[in-house]
Structure 1
Amino acid sequence: MPNRAARLIVPATLAIFAASPALAAPNVVASIKPIHSLVAAVMDGVGEPGLLVQGAASPHSFSLRPSDAAKLEAANIVFWIGADLETFLPGPLASLAGDAQVVELMDVEGMTILDMREGGLFEPHSHDHGDHDHDHDHDHDHDHDHDHDHDHDHDHDHDHGHDHDDDHGHEAHDHDDHGHDEHGHSHDHEHDHHHDHDHGDAHIWLDTQNARLMVAAIADTLMAADPENAETYNENGQALVARLSELEDEIAESLDGARGRPFFVFHDAYHYFENRFDIEATGTFTVNPEVAPGAARLTEIRERVQAEEAVCLFAEPQFSPAVVETIADGTDARLGVLDPLGADIEDGPELYFTLMRNLAQSLSDCLGQ
């Protein structure tokens, strides 16, 4: 059965809409900036989605304003990751957006879902993980035919001299044994999709392959809800999937000089990025980003930073850098910033691409020195 990205094919019947004036787009709301960016790109030329979590706000602690409530009340479609990320949103969705179509992107078929990593110091990758069987050797044979009928055939053999199968030592939910066939992942979408996300890592957008699947789901949803503009959604979706594939290649290559060097991140937000691009964090400063570590914990982390000879310690713009600065004091580690949400990036279709490039650039700049 073709995967979701492969199903974005313009039926011949859609041609009848080309001669008709486009009607108003549905009212669409996206929860966080990276998702808003993908939705905005698919809707380009038709309409603009609304955004809930703006600026440097965290989806873990966000509070709705009256204007946000109004967006939800007017929404025909709401795109979000799920309750594990936007913890503020389940209640408002039920009370304010009861008539809207709510699309939980963590439930998209074929999505790679990784487990949360336990504790503050991660286990090293063992590089023979059956669920992530892609060989990184940069011989990306992207077989996109950009009718979204490429079936995720990319033979991304990024050979960074690592001869591994990308077993990052972290279990990925197998979604009823679908195989992933892009990067060796062979997505078989004929499974029943009944996984439990209670302990899954919700930062799914930081995997470019997940982003392609989300784009397909977004375009499918919009095409079904707004057939008058379906051709535009479809064409935009095709172009976006192609750009995401190119972005994946670009980032993989840009990180060549950063791999294999120990670093710590503020909280465990980057598992998907690490997993996709074969770069691994040594640990985190906080288990819960909303709770500052105590003095004993800070001492323990500093000892680990020194023992691991960490090259870089990364803060986040959504949270105070004081914790990271305190830990860095007295060590040789450099300081950097990683932003998983695009806090300072202008909202819109380009935000996702800038966000991902910024992550790669920050890692490369700090680790590659």
Structure 2
Amino acid sequence: MPSRLLVAGALTLGLSAGPSLAEPPRVVASIKPIHSLVAAVMQGVAEPELLLDGAVSPHTYAMRPSDAGKLAEADMVVWAGAGVESFLGRALATLAPGAEIVEAGSLKGLKRLAYREGGLFEPHDHAEDGHGHDDMPDAHVWLDPANAQVIVAALGERLAAADPGNAEAYRENAGAMHARLGALDGEIAERMAPVAGRRFLVFHDAFQYFEEAYGLQATGSVVVSPEIAPGARRVAELQARITETGTRCLVAEPQFPREMVDMLAADGTRIAVLDPNGAAIEAGPLQYEEMMRANAAALAACLADPAR
């Protein structure tokens, strides 16, 4: 009998304590750098799910049934935008109809740049060019830490609104990550300063925000679209551009075959492997910072004076 009374008393106390806190929202993030920013804001509360893991480009990715299941169960989906994850453009409306959709590339306060056309980039005056282009904005916005700060701040508020019981944690995490991103920005700026203004050729036009942030200038891209291989005429144009501009650094990406980059490389040309998604880096709240440091180190080494 005493044991039954204890059990009944415990149940009574549990009921009088009021309703339990609701579960944190189920959040799905599209690619690793976006997932990392979400994970940093949710740290200590819950872990977001990553949709696209592994060394595959979001430009050429094909959805799997398991991806559809994650989206169907999501309360919130965070992605960069159709300019990056083209496979998600139409799927979100049908596969995640009840989820809040956060398009990181369209958040208020971001620095936005228009996609460069033609694949052979001309030098531009940063002071006159400005920001806020509305004509097909480049969706690789996360490659500028200042934009990552905007994304983190917005995620803190969106998650606080969706989960008021953990609002303080989300906002504190967002503030801490904002500060870390500011420190990261200064660290990369110091690393890239000695090579600012030196020219390089990218595989596809993914690094414009990184260039803009740190005073760099790509001469062009091997492919205009990652889905389409360059033809003979384009290869000839690229070879001429490399010679004309004295480009000594070519950028390859691990998600794409590098035969074309190797073919364009001449004597004395260096090749840097950069990854705008950091696919080889373990997913989590530190992935973004590790990815940015790795890309900065690889490009700085590629652009450095040969004697160094």
* TM value normalised by structure 2: 0.89
2-structure distance, mates of 1:130, 1:116: 13
Q: Between 294-303 and 249-258, report the one with greater CA deviation.
A: 294-303
- 1:157 aligned residue: none
1-structure distance, mates of 2:127, 2:29: 36
- Give the deviation of 1:21 after TM superposition: 7.3
- Give the deviation of 1:80 after TM superposition: 0.9
- 2:55 aligned residue: 56
2-structure distance, mates of 1:202, 1:302: 28
Query: Is 1:304 matched up with 2:241?
Result: yes
Aligned with 1:356: secondary structure? helix
Q: Identity across aligned pairs (percent)?
A: 51
Query: Is 1:345 matched up with 2:295?
Result: no
- 1:28 aligned residue: 27
- 1:45 aligned residue: 44
- Give the deviation of 1:201 after TM superposition: 0.6
Q: Which residue type is aligned with residue 225 of structure 2?
A: N
2-structure distance, mates of 1:29, 1:245: 26
Q: Between 299-308 and 44-53, report the one with greater CA deviation.
A: 299-308
Query: Is 1:173 matched up with 2:132?
Result: yes
- 1:15 aligned residue: none
- 2:145 aligned residue: 208
- 2:101 aligned residue: 102
1-structure distance, mates of 2:277, 2:263: 24
- 1:336 aligned residue: 272
Aligned with 1:88: secondary structure? helix
Query: Is 1:355 matched up with 2:283?
Result: no
CA 1:216/1:122 → structure 2, altered by over 3 Å: closer, same or farther? same
- Give the deviation of 1:202 after TM superposition: 0.7
1:265-314 superposed Cα distances (whole Å, 9 cap, x missing partner): 10110110111111111111111111111122212212221221111111
- 2:15 aligned residue: none
1:150-183 superposed Cα distances (whole Å, 9 cap, x missing partner): xxxxxxxxxxxxxxxxxxxxxx326xxxxxxxxx
Residue ranges of structure 1 left out of the alignment (5+ in a row): 1-19, 132-171, 175-195
1-structure distance, mates of 2:41, 2:299: 29
1-structure distance, mates of 2:79, 2:31: 7
Aligned with 2:211: secondary structure? helix
- 2:12 aligned residue: none
Question: Could you say which structure has the larger radius of gyration?
Answer: 2
- 2:74 aligned residue: 75
Contact persistence 2:250–2:261 (CA under 8 A):
yes
Contact persistence 1:38–1:349 (CA under 8 A):
yes
1-structure distance, mates of 2:191, 2:77: 34
Q: Which one of 157, 179, 183 corresponds to residue 246 of structure 1?
A: 183
Q: Indicate the RMSD between aligned Cα atoms, in angstroms.
A: 1.6
More helix by share: 2
- Give the deviation of 1:75 after TM superposition: 0.2
2-structure distance, mates of 1:301, 1:34: 30
2-structure distance, mates of 1:90, 1:342: 22
* TM value normalised by structure 1: 0.75
1:44-101 superposed Cα distances (whole Å, 9 cap, x missing partner): 0111111111111111121111211111010000011122221111222111100111
Contact persistence 1:23–1:229 (CA under 8 A):
no
Q: Which residue type is aligned with residue 218 of structure 1?
A: L
1:105-130 superposed Cα distances (whole Å, 9 cap, x missing partner): 22211111101111222111324326
CA 1:325/1:103 → structure 2, altered by over 3 Å: closer, same or farther? same
